[in-house]
Amino acid sequence: MKPIIAIPADIRQFDGTTWHAVQTQYVRAALKAADVMSLLIPALEEGNDPDAILDRVDGLLVSGSATNVHPSLYGGEVRESDGPFDPARDATSLPLIRRALDRGIPLLAICRGIQELNVALGGTLATEIQDQPGIWDHRNPLQADRDVNYAIRQDVVIAEGSCIARYLGAGRVPVNSLHRQAISKTAPRLQVEALADDGTVEAVSVIDAKGFAIGVQWHPEYWAEKDGPSRALFEAFGTAARTYAASRQR
């Protein structure tokens, strides 16, 4: 049987009501590249039981989103211009991240996910990084063609001997990094794995993790079926989920 992973949903408003939603690109990458099935976890400000959810899955995929982590969760200034925010997503993802790490459940955190991982472990975020001296504009160009928006157009430098180098190799790797926020103060339990040329943190791993636990600021899910490094990252996550699933059946 295929392993099953959890993906926390976002809150979205359309058709005059509230929806719990996950972008297709994450579900498809999990299925086609990681070879796992997905369960979508509703975003609730209260009522989710992280352990009850994690008891039933073999991995946790924390996706990107158009929303940002609320600054109150890391002691930042709350400005509506740094939104939109999704408190229900925050309240769902952060406890799941902490408990997945405690239990050794494989974790892959992407874009908003790496930011949630950093905040969950005590780090902080920088907002509107494109306004900081020397920092590139990493924002989504917001063209009508999503392939243009998610084009692989930037290199990151992966550190020698890092966890992610096992799967992607060390040195320069081309990626598609789209974001307005980024890690500022790195959480004590995180190791920086890759940087953009402007110094932006692009990948981290959890130092004391019991298993696979990696966060990336870019979007490997979008090209996971075509791009080698993107696929390799999802394949590694899928392998970790299968290993965890096998350990649960002993």
Residues designated catalytic: 111, 219, 221
**Helix crossing, 112-120 with 87-103: angle to 10°?**
70
What is the phi/psi pair of residue 18, to 5°? -100, 135
Helices 228-248 and 24-32 sit at what angle, rounded to 10 degrees?
Answer: 70
Cα-Cα end-to-end distance for the chain? 15
Nearest residue to 89 via CA among 54, 56, 40, 127: 40
Spatial CB neighbours of 94, under 8 Å, sequence gap ≥ 6: 73, 116, 119, 120
Counting Cβ atoms within 10 Å, is residue 49 exposed (0-12), middle (13-18) or buried (19+)? exposed
Please report where in the chains the tokens 């796992």 appear, as a residue: 36
Q: What is the largest CA-CA distance in the chain?
A: 54
Residue with tokens 């992280």: 50
The answer to whether the CB of 132 falls within 8 A of the CB of 125 is no
Q: How far apart are CA 141 and CA 241, in angstroms?
A: 34
